[in-house]
């Protein structure tokens, strides 16, 4: 992994391909990829698993004191999220977690806890982070900020395909509802709402192929010193 380089922030709405893009770009540039959404999902999974009430500040504080998240690579090179030493990559992608993650992500104590870790992980630079508040809150000084968007129907179709391939039984309607609800909660919450940073490059990838999108963003990253 390179130790000198830039921070690249990728923000945007739910399921618009941020993590696929971030992973591919990280591979091309030999950068570290940090999936901040996976961290919010892991915290949510912990609350569900231990039947904790995230509206109760004492229970949240107790939970956060117990939670340790890290990312590890599989033998095939794919990145997995670990919660207290357990591989939870599959569990955090379920509709059950997707249904609760946005309410959990409104809690300031949870955000403070995770943002601090994200900033520490990105300290060495040469890092790509994707999420909702990377360019505005986590790394406002990032050298390159991308704000991704795509047509909501197209996003829902992509997410359905992804989940069906993972063997989850879910309908297009359920996904549309979940994406709409998460986008609404994420954009209207008080603490660090999803919004485009003033200096972000906005890319609508509805009709772009992955190759076209990657090539475009790689040029932007190299122009900024990646």
Residues that bind ligand CDP (CB under 6 A): 14-15, 19, 36-37, 40-41, 101-102, 105, 131-134, 182, 186
What are the distances in angstroms from CA 100 to CA 52, 63, 68? 12, 16, 20
Which CB sits closer to ligand CDP, 125 or 182? 182
Which CB sits closer to ligand CDP, 7 or 105? 105
| Nearest residue to ligand CDP, scored by beta-carbon proximity | 37
How many Cβ atoms from other residues are within 10 Å of residue 2's Cβ?
13
Which CB sits closer to ligand CDP, 36 or 213? 36
Least spacing, CB of residue 101 vs ligand CDP, in Å: 4
Least spacing, CB of residue 103 vs ligand CDP, in Å: 8
Q: How many CA atoms lie within 13 A of 34 on its CB side?
A: 28
Separation of alpha carbons 183 and 132, rounded Å = 10
Which CB sits closer to ligand CDP, 81 or 126? 81
Least spacing, CB of residue 38 vs ligand CDP, in Å: 6
Least spacing, CB of residue 58 vs ligand CDP, in Å: 22
Residue among 198, 194, 43, 201 nearest 133 (CA): 194
Least spacing, CB of residue 90 vs ligand CDP, in Å: 14
Separation of alpha carbons 193 and 212, rounded Å = 29
Q: Tokens for 61?
A: 């504080």
How many Cβ atoms from other residues are within 10 Å of residue 222's Cβ?
12
Which CB sits closer to ligand CDP, 101 or 200? 101
The answer to whether the Cα torsion of 159, 55, 63, 35 is positive or negative is positive
Ranges of beta strands (E only) in the chain are 7-12, 32-35, 69-73, 79-83, 86-87, 127-131, 144-149, 201-204
Least spacing, CB of residue 34 vs ligand CDP, in Å: 10
């Amino acid at each position: 992994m390179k130790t000198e380089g830039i921070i690249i922030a990728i923000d945007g709405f739910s399921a618009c391909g941020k993590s696929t893009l971030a992973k591919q770009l990280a591979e091309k540039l030999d950068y570290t990829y940090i999936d901040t959404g996976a961290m919010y999902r892991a915290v949510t999974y912990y609350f569900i698993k231990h039947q904790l009430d995230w509206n109760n500040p004492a229970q949240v504080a107790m939970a956060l004191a117990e939670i340790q998240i890290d990312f590890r690579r599989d033998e095939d090179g794919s990145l997995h999220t670990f919660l207290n030493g357990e591989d939870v990559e599959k569990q955090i992608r379920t509709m059950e977690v997707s249904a609760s993650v946005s309410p959990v992500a409104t809690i300031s104590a949870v955000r403070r806890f995770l943002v601090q870790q994200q900033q520490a992980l990105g300290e060495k630079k040469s890092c790509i982070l994707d999420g909702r508040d990377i360019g505005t809150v986590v790394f406002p000084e990032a050298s390159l900020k991308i704000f991704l968007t795509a047509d909501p129907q197209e996003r829902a179709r992509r997410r359905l395909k992804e989940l069906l391939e993972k063997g989850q039984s879910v309908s297009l309607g359920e996904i549309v509802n979940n994406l709409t609800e998460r986008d609404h909660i994420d954009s209207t919450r008080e603490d660090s709402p999803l919004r485009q940073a003033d200096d972000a490059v906005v890319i609508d990838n509805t009709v772009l192929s992955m190759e076209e999108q990657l090539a475009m963003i790689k040029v932007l990253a190299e122009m900024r010193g990646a």
